Amino acid sequence: MASWLETEAPTRFDELAVPEAVRQALVSSSTSIDPPHILITGPAGVGKTACWRLFARQLLGPGWKSTTHVLQARDLARQRGAMSSFEGFLRPSGSEKDTLAGRTSLDAYDRGISIPQGKNFAPTGSEIEVREGKVPISRLIVIEDADHLGHIRQAYLRRMMETVGEASRFVLIARAPSRIIDALRSRSQMIRIPSTDRQTITKTLSVIAEKNGLEPTEGVLEDISYISEGNLKRAIFTLELLDIRGLTSDRSSVHKMVQASTLQAGRRLVELAIRGKVVEWKWENHRGRNKKVLSGAMAEVDNLMNNHGLDSTDIISQIHDVIVGRRLSVPQPLREEILVALSECDVGLQRSTYPRIHFERFLHRTAIAGKKHGLSM
């Protein structure tokens, strides 16, 4: 069964939960006679993916998916031979002259012939007309998490953008635009999406709830908006999770998620690690049978990631806030050692597809530091 993040995704620009200025920038750039390369930036969960998908649909027409090529730069950075893979993506045939950006597709000319199916209608309400004598844009190259490319690959991309054909455009997606080199930023129109305000999140959740026949208890949607901290994606995920568990009428269930999404969970996790309780096991009775289950700090990590939908970035942020916010009564030297271990964990997470390994390593290092300062059991 498809997630609400897919089934409830906007199909028109006016359905985007973004400021009007952002919406107008997307409409203007996607319907321009000479569309620019664009750089969409903003924090996690504000709709960057939804924006570029609508941009692609409007610009390329009904067959946009067949000529939209997506590269996940974060995954690329975790691979061996990343530069070779990057070059292979941009030059599929391996030839210096044949580049992905230099190819033209006939799909761009069928906008008046193809009949949109299902929800595949133009986001502005009308298709772009192919002008006589003008080569239409027929290919988009989308690079997600472009701020993880690194300077060498960004410089290579810049040279590619300089020689791009008339029929292709680049779309760069990034959380941290400061990590994008000036040469790329100057060649792109930057569209900055801010964190989603609570009122907009609540309104969006209300529309989704009505579409899916939900009648949440008063205050539930507002609570979800509060704990989401501007992350619309997290808010939708939380509402769907409550619906699956049949808890949309139980406001206390949201407050449990509040507890998991605030500093309390991060503080408990770090305190367990300092005391040396990183990986522990205990017996619990499940339907008359004893079952061995994980406990300790790693169990808290698993709970946050698997049961509450928090990603590794959220957990890192929580732990960091606990440490620097003086919410732990520990000696300053120990605080500094934990911060060093956390920074190395954060770096490791950027290059790995297995976050649990790096969290466990961080927690063990915290336990060693706690023992060194006489706080571990």
**Nearest 5 degrees, angle CA 170-CA 175-CA 176?**
95
Summarised one tens digit per residue, pLDDT across range 156-187 is 889 888 777 677 899 999 988 888 999 999 99
292 C-beta neighbours (distance < 10 Å), count:
9
Same fold, 4-192 and 198-252: no
b/e burial code for range 92-107 (CB count within 10 A of at least 16 → b): eeeeeeebbbbbbbeb
pLDDT score, position 257: 62
In this structure, whether the domain defined by 263-372 belongs to CATH 1.20.272.10 is answered with: yes
Summarised one tens digit per residue, pLDDT across range 7-26 is 999 999 999 999 999 999 99
Q: Are 282 and 295 in contact (CB under 8 A)?
A: yes
Domain ranges of the chain: 4-192, 198-252, 263-372
Which class for 170: exposed (0-12), middle (13-18), buried (19 or more C-beta within 10 A)? buried
Which class for 178: exposed (0-12), middle (13-18), buried (19 or more C-beta within 10 A)? exposed
> In this structure, which topology does domain 198-252 adopt according to CATH?
Helicase, Ruva Protein; domain 3 (1.10.8)
**Mean pLDDT throughout 119-124?**
83
Summarised one tens digit per residue, pLDDT across range 179-210 is 899 999 999 999 999 999 999 999 999 999 99
Task: Tell me the pLDDT band of 251, cut-offs 50, 70 and 90.
Answer: confident
What DSSP letter does each residue of 271-340 carry, written as one string?
HHHHTT-SSEEEEEEETTEEEEEEESHHHHHHIIIIIS---HHHHHHHHHHHHHTT-S---HHHHHHHHH
340: CB partners within 8 A, 6+ apart: none
Q: What is the CATH number of domain 4-192?
A: 3.40.50.300
